[in-house]
Chains A and B, each alone.
Chain A
């Protein structure tokens, strides 16, 4: 059986798709929100050097990635082992070397990948303007504005995706998600004005 066909079968048998989707949305939002917080915080503190955003941003992204990888793997694996034991009791047989056992082991790995790499993906995307800024192509202020814009767009798109899954108003869901980012941005801009 071909590699991708095998993976498709494992995803189907393990029923990991909705779990993976939940992990993806939740952690991708975490990634974008964290970087938004760092960028806005740096903006309030009038940070002029882009590396003061890049390093904390990379640190947070790396931490979220590792936390997602190990946290999700261990949680999912524990749940799956428990489910397998119940199923094996009902079947009165060992299912480890069957498609069910293999699919369950794959599901833990898959959930960990999604949970770990979704915040890394959105986090790095939000940091991209600062990477470009470090080459001297544009100013840190512009990088900051672009980064906030990317964070907000990602949040909106995640909401749109949720709207699409639940077959409801995609723009409304996108706007709801966008509100999270807007609240963070407005609170910090207000703090900057008070300061």
Chain B
């Protein structure tokens, strides 16, 4: 079962992020939603959507997003299982940055 999923989404300006977040948070198994707009064009906007829950159904989320006129560009992070696991920093991450 998915506990957290982070998506990169392209959406029209309307429905607004408020409506989109309310629509997503009303889904079964979803406890909370965060939407952050990081780029705005003339007709569309790019959003990073974080969905957290006890049993997030990815297909239902995808369906809801499509119904609201949005498309998933990429799935950037998924956390599933009995426990929510954060990404672990390794020495390689630091050296890669240097």
Contacts and interface: CB of A to CB of B under 8 A. Distances in A.
Interface string B23-62: 0000000000000000001111000000000000000000
A45 B19 CA distance: 58
Given A98-B69, A100-B12, A100-B69, A91 B44 contact: yes
A158 B19 CA distance: 32
Contacts of A86: 43
A91 B19 contact: no
Contacts of A92: 71
B67 interface: yes
Q: What range describes how many residues of B lie at the interface?
A: 10 to 19
A172 interface: no
Interface stretch (A8-16, A56-64, A134-142): A8-16
A14 B16 CA distance: 11
Interface string A90-104: 111101001111010
B66 interface: yes
Contacts of B42: 90
A84 to B, nearest CB: 10
A98 B44 contact: no
Nearest to B71: A93
Contacts of A78: none
Given A90-B41, A91-B44, A91-B71, A100 B10 contact: no
A162 B10 CA distance: 38
A87 interface: yes
Contact of A13 (B14, B43, B44, B71): B14
B79 interface: no
Nearest to B10: A91
A103 B69 CA distance: 11
24 contacts: A9-B15, A9-B19, A12-B15, A12-B19, A13-B15, A13-B19, A15-B14, A86-B43, A87-B12, A87-B43, A90-B42, A90-B44, A91-B12, A91-B43, A91-B71, A93-B71, A95-B12, A95-B69, A98-B69, A99-B69, A100-B15, A100-B69, A101-B69, A103-B14
The 6 closest A-B pairs by CB, nearest first: A100-B69, A98-B69, A90-B43, A90-B44, A13-B14, A13-B15
Interface of B: 10, 12, 14-15, 19, 41-44, 66-69, 71
